[in-house]
Structure 1
Amino acid sequence: MTDHHYEIAVTWTGNTGSGTSSIRSYSRNHDVGVDGLQTIAASSDPAFRGDPARWNPEQLYVAALAQCHMLWYLSLAAQAGITVTAYDDRPTGVMIEESNGAGQFERVTLRPTVTIEATSDSGLAERLHDRVADYCFIARSVKTPIDHEVTILTAADAIAG
């Protein structure tokens, strides 16, 4: 077993002069960073007094699930002899909020459209998506149900479409 450690800096930038003297007195803006990479300008969801021009944790959560799925899928496809030439996903997440303000994600749906070479097995290419959850670190670490609505295209389909 190998341990991997991740160190990230989250810095609140939303003190507008009076700190958190009231629920409305401060901005939810913050920066997410790691040495050597571009900083992510973040905030809370606009529904929670956040800045709509910045990423929010809910979007980053859905993005992390989709990224991990894609990266493992590409690896499994390569190992299985499936030649993927394009991959595009438009994932969505549904979060429920309880009356006390607490909440959780009820579901995340990944919607990858995968283009493969005509000589690749499209049935196997589709089935590989079901195997990703056995490997994806993020999916294995959360309790949110993750669905897949997969579209497999051959290179010829992509050109014709």
Structure 2
Amino acid sequence: MSHHTATIRWKNQGPDFLARRYSREHTLHFDGGATLPGSPTPQIVPSPWSNPAGVDPEELFVASVSSCHMLWFLHVACDAGFCAECYEDEAEGIMTKNERGVLWISQITLRPCITWSGTKQPDASEVSHLHHLAHEQCFIANSIKTEVIVPS
């Protein structure tokens, strides 16, 4: 078992909390020492109560799925004897309303682009299989109900 922590800090800086006129900016502190500015997405909470420069929870969620998939993909590619040199993913999450009318991220599409080196190069079906194996092992994908798509 492993244990993971994050500390989220927010302080009321007004001007009127009860009238919903307050900044939602906050700071995310991770157990390894990384710190990120956090904010709700300006699409939901408009400026000045949000900051588009901050990372919103939805972005963190999409990044978490993408990062976990990448780490497992690199692992299974290595196991298969393929040498990855570069992995880049422009992941996207889609927010929709569920049957109760509540917004949720219903779908995440990963768009990985991998550069390979070495004499052993995977073909398209092998890459697809590696993505399948990575998805099966991904801790985050196994923890959510959101559909995760990796186009071929």
Q: Do Structure 1 and Structure 2 share a fold, with TM-score over 0.5?
A: yes
The offset of 1:126, in angstroms, is: 2.8
- Tell me, what secondary structure is at the counterpart of 2:140? helix
Report what 2:4 is aligned to: 6
Give the corresponding residue for 1:121: 122
Mapped to 2, the partners of 1:82 and 1:125 lie a distance apart of 10
Runs of 4+ in 1 over 6 A off after TM superposition: none
For the aligned residue pairs, the C-alpha RMSD in angstroms reads 1.9
Say whether the 8 Å CA contact 2:96–2:105 is kept in structure 1. Answer: yes
1:49-90 C-alpha deviation (Å, 9 max, x unpaired): 221111100001000000000000000000011111111110
Residue 76 of structure 2: aligned partner: 76
The whole-number CA distance in structure 1 between the counterparts of 2:32 and 2:67 is 20
**Runs of 5+ consecutive residues of structure 2 not aligned to the other structure:** none
Q: Structure 1's 84 and 36: CA in aligned 2 closer, same or farther, altered over 3 A?
A: closer
2:24 equivalent in structure 1: 28
Q: What does residue range 9-158 of structure 1 map to in structure 2 within 5 Å?
A: 9-18=7-16, 20-23=17-20, 25-49=21-45, 50-97=50-97, 102-117=102-117, 118-122=119-123, 123-150=125-152
Answer whether contact 1:12 1:29 (CA < 8 A) is retained.
Answer: yes
Q: Aligned letter for 2:130?
A: L
Task: Supply the distance in 1 between the matched residues of 2:93 and 2:137 (Cα, whole angstroms).
Answer: 21
Distance 1:128 1:38 in 2: 30
> What SS does the corresponding residue of 2:23 show, helix, strand or coil?
coil
User: Structure 1 stretch 46-55 or stretch 140-149: which is displaced more?
Assistant: 46-55
Whichever structure has more strand as a proportion of its residues is: 2
Q: Percent identity?
A: 32
Secondary structure at the aligned position of 2:64 is classed as helix
Summarize deviations over 1:94-146 as a string: whole Å, max 9, x none: 00147x87311121000001111252222313321011121100000000000
SS at match of 1:137: coil
Distance 1:42-1:71 versus aligned 2 partners, 3 A rule: same
Q: Is the 8 A contact 1:13 1:31 kept in 2?
A: no
How far residue 34 of structure 1 moved from its aligned partner, in angstroms, is: 2.4
User: What code does the residue aligned with 2:120 have?
Assistant: T
Three-state SS of the structure 2 residue aligned to 1:21 is helix
Q: Return the offset for 1:14.
A: 4.5
